[in-house]
């Protein structure tokens, strides 16, 4: 099946689910394509055993732009990316991204922000941070058309809870960096997202966090507990029309 993202992303891009190939229109560049396989993050699932280690979980397409906009992105020091999670279940757990936190901005002295738009599918963003001996977890339910800002200080990862690929675009500074070490240390995020045979979703605590004082909030994209300005306009089109608008993510 072909999943067409032209309307939601404003770029001539689609995904062929039959061969896991991204279809790009003329004049579009993707500087880097990466794939995460089960072997890359088996220890991050509740149970990663009994499956092919080469099983693809999700794809990352970094540095996406039309040729005429290359200089705009370079001058701003920002890149546009796609991440596409397949609708795979790992022994009852929904496929997820590895999870990370970004580096520190030399301007704000806090972690870089990241801006997301959901181009297709549905799922969750799981965000968490440690503050005053509390592990604060925010589970953000998202669907096509939603926009989310990841504020400073939060580790974050995406989860595909649907039956089709979960694709989202994002804007991040070029030198934002990604620190994966805490997720490796704790064998994943605080909660595993489980899905039963009837499609019901449940979140189970990762036992490596059981000694933590955990505070959990479950919200949708319009009710996140932070106030960061973000117009609900396709990110790519918004950026090329007004690159300076996104200076706040620096």
| Confidence category of residue 40, pLDDT binned at 50, 70, 90 | very high
Q: Where are the domains of the chain?
A: 2-242
CATH topology of domain 2-242: Jelly Rolls (2.60.120)
Taking only the tens place, the pLDDT of each residue in 111-150 is: 778 999 999 999 999 999 998 889 999 999 999 999 999 9
What pLDDT sits at residue 227?
79
What pLDDT sits at residue 178?
80
Q: Looking at residues 95-119, what average pLDDT do you find? A: 86
Instruction: Please tell me the distance from the alpha carbon of residue 144 to that of residue 122, in angstroms, as a whole number.
Output: 6
What pLDDT sits at residue 59?
98
Q: Looking at residues 80-106, what average pLDDT do you find? A: 93
Taking only the tens place, the pLDDT of each residue in 186-225 is: 999 999 999 999 999 999 999 999 999 999 999 999 999 8
What pLDDT sits at residue 111?
75
Instruction: Please tell me the distance from the alpha carbon of residue 171 to that of residue 137, in angstroms, as a whole number.
Output: 23
CA neighbor of 95 nearest in space, from 84, 104, 82 = 84
């Amino acid at each position: 099946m072909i999943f067409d993202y032209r309307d939601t992303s404003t770029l001539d891009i689609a995904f062929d689910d039959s061969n896991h190939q991204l279809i790009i229109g003329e004049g579009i560049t993707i500087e880097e394509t990466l794939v995460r396989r089960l072997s890359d993050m088996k220890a991050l699932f509740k149970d990663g055993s009994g499956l092919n280690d080469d099983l693809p979980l999700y794809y990352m397409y970094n540095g996406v732009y039309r040729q005429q906009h290359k200089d705009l992105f370079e001058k701003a020091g920002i890149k546009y990316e796609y991440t596409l999670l397949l609708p795979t279940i790992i022994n009852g757990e929904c496929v997820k991204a590895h999870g990370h936190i970004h580096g520190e901005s030399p301007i704000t002295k806090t972690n870089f922000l990241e801006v997301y738009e959901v181009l297709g599918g549905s799922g969750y963003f799981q965000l968490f941070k440690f503050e005053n001996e509390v592990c604060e977890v925010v589970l953000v339910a998202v669907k096509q058309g939603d926009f989310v800002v990841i504020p400073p200080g939060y580790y974050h990862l995406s989860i595909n809870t649907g039956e089709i690929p979960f694709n989202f675009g994002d804007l991040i500074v070029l030198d934002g960096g990604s620190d994966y070490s805490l997720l490796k240390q704790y064998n994943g995020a605080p909660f595993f997202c489980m899905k039963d045979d009837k499609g019901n979703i449940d979140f189970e605590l990762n036992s490596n966090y059981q000694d933590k004082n955990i505070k959990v909030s479950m919200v949708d994209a319009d009710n996140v507990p932070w106030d960061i300005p973000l117009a609900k306009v396709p990110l790519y089109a918004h950026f090329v029309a007004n690159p300076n608008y996104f200076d706040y993510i620096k």
